Amino acid sequence: MEADGARRMQRFFVSDVHDASAPPDDPRAAYCVAWKINPHMQVGSTSLDRARVQHDSLVRALVASGADVRRHPFVRGCFDCVFAKDNAVLARTARGRRALLCRPRHAVRAREQAARAQSLARHGYHVDRARHHLEGGDVVRAGGALVLGHGFRSEPGAARELAAWSGLEVLALELVDAHLYHLDTALAALPDGTVLVCPDALAPASLRALHRWRRARRVIEVARDEALRFGLNLVTIGRRVILSKGAPGVERALASLGYEPLSLELDEFHRAGGSAACLVAEEHRFEAARSSDAA
């Protein structure tokens, strides 16, 4: 495992799961499933009490693993705002902290963005705005590059914009399984260059491109049933890997590579289509991040 000092350098944002300042009977002030914009969503199926407990356990695991965890406030009426990764791609560069504010596909997600931009600015980020449809769940860091998923939420053209903004190579992959609608439900990249992927989630040409990609030290294919249980929607901090319970094959693969999997109960968030990776936005270190206006 990496030294504690190195791990503490990783910054993550999470969202509050409710607005503590709101009246307790305000139906707009806490996480729930109120609409259906992906196949996992079960309207009215969540328990706020269980969601709070599960979210708290995730935050505690991040902190115990050495993460610097920051919070966004819950945005009233924007129940999916708990999935903090989708709002922006975050970078720490020689020029300071920068955020590429995403452009969500669905209006119910887009209305979170003004509040998220304000919160990021308060935390010291220069906020750029994406011109193409782009969601943070479709962006996975893979060493010195990024992987972008497109097909359900993000547009193919977002790859060029993301590359221009980040200064990094971007591999664009087409997603074809609506149940694995964001890339981070279908693919995970580990610090040693290993890529875990559900092959059923990608178009054949994209799967071939991934296997040929020089940045991928090895590609390990994961069964669709484990991806559907959000086994690939994971967070890495050094050798620690935080993921949801229910993916023993992924846990075995991680352990065989020398990682330390930590599985948590996160099923209250599965009911809205997300898990560990969706709930956190990691700040990445880029050599340079430019204004998206220059893309």
Positions marked active-site: 182, 278
**Residues across the chain:** 295
Which of 3.40.50.300, 3.10.20.600, 3.75.10.10, 1.50.10.100 would CATH assign to domain 4-289?
3.75.10.10
> pLDDT per residue over 108-140, tens digit each?
999 999 999 999 999 999 999 999 999 999 999
Residue ranges, the chain, pLDDT below 50: 1-8, 293-295
Per-residue confidence (pLDDT) for residue 181, from 0 to 100: 99
Contact, 244 vs 267, CB < 8 A? yes
Candidates 12, 15, 31, 26; CA nearest to 272 is 31
User: CA 163 to CA 250: how far, in whole Å?
Assistant: 30
Domain boundaries, the chain: 4-289
The DSSP line for 224-246 is HHHHHTTTT--EEETTEEEEESS
Per-residue confidence (pLDDT) for residue 5, from 0 to 100: 40
Per-residue confidence (pLDDT) for residue 25, from 0 to 100: 86
What is the separation of C-alpha 271 from the centre of its chain, rounded to a whole number of angstroms? 16
- Give the global pTM: 0.94
> pLDDT per residue over 40-87, tens digit each?
999 999 999 999 999 999 999 999 999 999 999 999 999 999 999 999
Per-residue confidence (pLDDT) for residue 6, from 0 to 100: 41
